[in-house]
Amino acid sequence: MNALFLAPLGRRGARLLVAAAIAGAAIGLGLPGGTAPGDAADRFVAGGPATERAPLPPEQAAQVLAAASSSRQRLGLPGPAAVRVDRVTDRFSGMTYDEVTATDRAGNTLHLQRFDDRGRLVGAVSFGWQSRGGRPMPDAEAARARGSRLAADLGLNVSGAPDVRQDPDDGGWTIAWPRVVDGIPVLGDGARIDLWPDGRVHAVVLAEKPLESRPSSLLDEGAARQRATDTLGDLFGSRAGQIAIAAVGLGWVAPNDAFDPAAPDAPGSTLRLAWVVEARTRGELADGLRAVKIFLDAGTGALLGGDVLR
């Protein structure tokens, strides 16, 4: 019966059915997603927990707390009444970090800081909506200067002119330095500092995922464009005439399951060099889909994943 049913569905259809049924059963039964800590098959499953927390041994905790105390002062965060430190395994990002959470005397959470296995500050946030404070910074240039000073003080090792954006509703400023390696952008990676309107720190993020080795030889842009044209034709079939390539460029990307239900739910934690092809829609297709990105392995042209803009 199963064989008769599954055979005509094809492998992808069958995998989709099985995955959806398992996910549905887990949700229906109230089971946590993923698998038990330490399980060799431990991986993130959509709808399940993304992180696991464990206590740190006292001597390691002391080192992390010392680092947190130092960076807290540089970040201008208030002194806590109590702190807690956890080793966090992040199944979604594939990272492990130590997280220091600070609370006030009433037990309210004030801020948190994250440190990677090299002791670098990789995340911090000051909780609460704090748009009102001192005199607001006058313009983007002032925000850029303030962010750049902070980045240097925190040792974020940024370079180049950052992207500066004013947030809505007096939310302050976002100053971002996208990561670039040998002239090639690393999608999603980089440093970001969020400032309140008066220049106080709201949040800091440093994302720097490991990179796979470069392929020994690369497809040239013309070959990549042709491969992308073929792939889009295959994906969109009779509607391929309503989508056109808008940009082609090399980038370091996290392989993902965008078009492959059998692949892991979380993006890959090691980045691969790819031709990143963005195609824009028109006509009826644009009613529900604005654009699509496909990631083609820079060496082989194989589809590594992609993205969708609805």
**Of 68, 258, 273, 279, which lies in the binding site for another protein, with binding defined by CB under 8 A?**
258
Of residues 180-209, which lie at the interface with another protein (CB under 8 A)? Answer: 187-189, 194, 202-203, 205, 207, 209
Tell me if 133 contacts another protein by CB under 8 A.
no
**Of 131, 200, 245, 299, which lies in the binding site for another protein, with binding defined by CB under 8 A?**
131
Tell me if 296 contacts another protein by CB under 8 A.
no
Tell me if 116 contacts another protein by CB under 8 A.
no
**Of 60, 70, 73, 108, which lies in the binding site for another protein, with binding defined by CB under 8 A?**
108
Tell me if 96 contacts another protein by CB under 8 A.
no
Task: Indicate the burial class of 26 (C-beta count within 10 angstroms; 0-12, 13-18, 19 or more).
Answer: middle
**Of 212, 223, 239, 282, which lies in the binding site for another protein, with binding defined by CB under 8 A?**
239
**Of 165, 221, 241, 300, which lies in the binding site for another protein, with binding defined by CB under 8 A?**
165
Tell me if 282 contacts another protein by CB under 8 A.
no
Binding mask 52-91 for another protein (x = CB under 8 A): ----------------------------------------
**Of 3, 30, 40, 59, which lies in the binding site for another protein, with binding defined by CB under 8 A?**
30
The CB density around residue 21, as the number of other CB atoms within 10 Å, is 10
Tell me if 267 contacts another protein by CB under 8 A.
yes
